[in-house]
């Protein structure tokens, strides 16, 4: 989770990223840093993906990710829970890299009047730029969408 500055105040952003493809598959914004924010992002992610045996959900040790409702939803879907080692920020380097990209290429370039404007711009960045156009060296200089399409085409063939 991170914060996004508005003209008057700030909001919180929770993001779920597929480590395999680097694709953002769920996210949510809220004016309150509560467990419901993380839960909303997870629910969106689960709507975009089918869960296969062996799926691992990794997060930091924040109380939002350890909340009863969040853990129950992961368990309901048979998702294995993994949390960062205490005090080790490198365990979440991929999501931290995404958040840096989001902030430097979108958030810091704009002044959002309210949460609605922030949500609209972040949605456009994620859906139209990051997932579709942003090239990743770890994906052979392909975008997350292109990488997933290539993987799925080879899986079917």
pLDDT in tens, 70-84: 999 999 999 999 888
- What percent of the chain is modeled with pLDDT above 90? 79
Give mean pLDDT, residues 122-145.
Answer: 97
The residue with greater pLDDT, 92 or 31, is: 31
Give mean pLDDT, residues 1-28.
Answer: 96
How does residue 155 score in pLDDT terms, banded at 50, 70 and 90?
confident
- What's the pLDDT at 46? 96
Q: How far apart are CA 6 and CA 60, in angstroms?
A: 25
Q: How far apart are CA 65 and CA 34, in angstroms?
A: 10
Structure tokens at 119: 């949500």
Say if residues 41 and 65 touch (Cβ distance below 8 Å).
no
Q: Which residue ranges form the domains of the chain, and what is each CATH number?
A: 2-156 (3.30.420.10)
Give pTM, 2 decimals: 0.91
- What percent of the chain is modeled with pLDDT above 70? 97
pLDDT digits (tens, 9 = 90+) for 16-71: 999 999 999 999 999 999 999 999 999 999 999 988 888 999 998 888 998 999 99
- What's the pLDDT at 91? 75
157 pLDDT higher than 70: no
Q: How many CB atoms lie within 10 A of CB 28?
A: 21
Q: Count of alpha carbons within 13 Å of 143, Cβ hemisphere only?
A: 13
Mean pLDDT, rounded, of the chain: 93
- What's the pLDDT at 61? 82
Element (H, E) at 105: helix 93-105
156 pLDDT higher than 90: no
């Amino acid at each position: 989770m991170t914060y996004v500055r508005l003209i008057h105040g700030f909001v919180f952003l929770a993001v779920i990223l597929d480590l395999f493809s680097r694709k953002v598959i769920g996210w949510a914004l809220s004016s309150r840093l509560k467990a419901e924010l993380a839960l909303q992002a997870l629910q969106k992610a689960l709507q975009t993906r089918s869960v296969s045996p062996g799926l691992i959900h990794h997060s930091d040790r924040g109380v939002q990710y350890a909340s009863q409702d969040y853990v129950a939803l992961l368990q309901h879907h048979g998702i294995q829970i993994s949390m960062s080692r205490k005090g080790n920020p490198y365990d979440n380097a991929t999501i931290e890299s995404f958040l840096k990209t989001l902030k430097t290429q979108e958030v810091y370039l704009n002044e959002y009047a309210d949460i609605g404007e922030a949500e609209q711009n972040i949605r456009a960045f994620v859906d139209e730029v990051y997932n579709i156009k942003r090239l990743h060296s770890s994906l052979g200089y392909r975008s997350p969408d292109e990488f997933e399409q290539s993987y799925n085409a080879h899986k079917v063939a």
